[in-house]
Amino acid sequence: MTQAEQTPARGKKKSAARKRTPKDPTKPKAAKALKAAPPPGAAAEGGSPSKSLFEDFDALSEYLADVTGKSQEVVREFFTKNAETMKRAPTISADPLNIRESFQEMMNSLAADPGTVMQRQINLWGDYAKLMASMSRRMAGEDVPPAIEPDPGDRRFSHPAWRENQLLDFVKQSYLTYAKWLRSTVSQLEGMDEHARKKAEFYTQQFLDAIAPTNFPVLNPEVVETAIETKGENFLKGMKNLLDDLDRGHGELAIRQADLEYFKLGVNVATTPGKVIYQNEIMQLIQYDPMTEEVAKRPLLIFPPWINKFYILDLQPQNSFIRWMIEQGRTVFVVSWVNPGPELKDKTFEDYIRQGLFEALDAVKQATGEENVDAIGYCIGGTMLATALAYMARKGDKRIKSATFFTAQADFKESGDLLLFVDDAQLDAIEKQMDAAGGVLEGRAMATTFNMLRSNDLIWSFVIDNYMKGKDPAKFDILFWNSDATRMPKNVHLFYLREFYQHNRLAKGEMVIGGERLNLHEIDIPIFMQAGETDHIAPFNSVYRTAKLFGGPVTYMLAGSGHIAGVINHPSKKKYHHSTNEALPATVEEWKAGAERHPGSWWPYWMSWLNKTSKGRVPARRPGDGALKPLEDAPGSYVKVKA
């Protein structure tokens, strides 16, 4: 489609606006998408001059004048309603991540080597000179390749205007040039220890993500088009979205990633039929109804992370891992962790093992009569499972006959960017934050940390959609779950960060639980390790290091995608891929070199492994058949408690 076909003349737009009834300003006729201006002198099809993306700004200003008045009323109403909240003093440091300290150290390193700084400046000027020369040639009508391109996976600049509009292309390439220069400069600094350098690199990337031209409405072509189509109503809706999120966060910005009203637990998510058959102060145990006449002899017991809620494994019928497992003929139990308040602040990591894992094992025996189980641990639930298995090995406890780990680590030496948050200064700041909250870590704090690991996808894309485009949050089950954060008791969380992340004691054989010094090599049961190719929370190389620590037979499998989509990949979706290699060589690079890649979900491959490991069939068991009587319907009440 030509530019003239896509962009109506400005005069016609005004005429159409005059004819439209003023009674319904929220439903304007959508403007056709704007394209970029061709080289000077070019004309659109039909002979009329082509228009720049920004030539409709004078018409847009008429719309914004009306919207400005409305937005003032919205803001006035918000601050009147939340006057007391806005006066409330903050309970945490203004710099809880100690960014100031990291950048001070970086600036000291720069000041110590002025010669290198000058050379780096000259390099930047040279890069900009090349860019200016390239753009000058393009403006003269030459077909010139760009001086710099976004990374292939960078979706921020996917709109055609970033390539076709000369002004936007220059802005884009200027930003990319500066970003490349700044990253390179920080990475080459001398006089900083490795941890300080990596912190500086991480926070530099956060800064670069924040100043991207896509985050400025006047430069983002998608925002400009939306403003023209809606006659500026997107900004009014965006203002309402922003104030709603501030209200929901009690004065702190709580960005909505999904429609929080659409999904209801037990109604359209977490709907697999089952019963809560046991509970204590830190967990409920759910047993699900069977869907086959016979089931595997050994029950399957799942330990999800307590950082999030268990229903990531039971979203909707078409992508529920739990439902799929039941359909394969398994008796499935899952632990639903409590969303703890200050009354549980003194709970320890060992309490979670004893009251969470050991009491769940006891309850499964009472419910089914079976002494032995197959177990799954997801993320931190897998870290707990590995710790418990090492303890059970010392005690001769053989109730868990096989263990599967979903993106879980026991060796944290190469655990990625999360290591940046676990030095002494960071942990002291987190401890103060938890003390201010009554002895728990608020769910939003951990969610913010995870979102920072992928800030363009999990922060800035929602800022653009929610506040600039004024879009309604998506009805997306995974993002709804991601927004349903949980709190964590102070002692549990600090133990996890200090003992595992900071000191890596379990992998080193230095961790003591219940008076026993733990050694993962003493675990000799069959182990299945699942990792994700793009996992930014439990990197696949870190999971591989964990796989090498166990003493029994270990199967390592690498799935396409990341920490969530790499796990929740129903076979019917026919998405992604997975790689397998029966060997377990010294390094993950060797493993990948010998691996075979397969299309689609890894679930059937794992089920084949489990069927070989866990044999025998019995008549299907229903909740309540054993010694434990149902307490309430799944998904239970603990999971419904909001942070």
Active-site residue list: 379
**Coil, helix or strand at residue 471:** coil
- Give the span between the Cα atoms of 535 and 513, in whole angstroms: 29
- SS3 state at 273: coil
- 3, 12, 28, 67, 225 from 16: Cα distances, Å: 20, 6, 10, 19, 17
Please state the separation of Cα 281 from the chain's center in Å.
28
Pairing of strands 373-378, 400-406: parallel
Token pair of 221 as six digits: 């072509």
Return the amino acid letter for 234: N
Measured from the Cβ of residue 295, the count of other Cβ atoms closer than 10 Å reads 23
Q: What is the DSSP string of 340-360?
A: --GGGTT--HHHIIIIIIIHH
* Nearest alpha-carbon partner for 287 in 642, 632, 640: 632
Q: How many angstroms separate the CA atoms of 226 and 476, rounded?
A: 22
- Phi, psi for residue 638 in degrees, rounded to 5: -60, -40
3-state secondary structure 362-386: HHHHHHHCCCCEEEEEECHHHHHHH
Whether the bond between 623 and the residue before it is cis, its omega within 30 degrees of 0, is no
The secondary structure of 151-179, three-state, reads CCCCCCCCCCHHHHCHHHHHHHHHHHHHH
Backbone torsions φ then ψ of 401, nearest 5 degrees: -95, -20
Host H or E run for residue 595: none
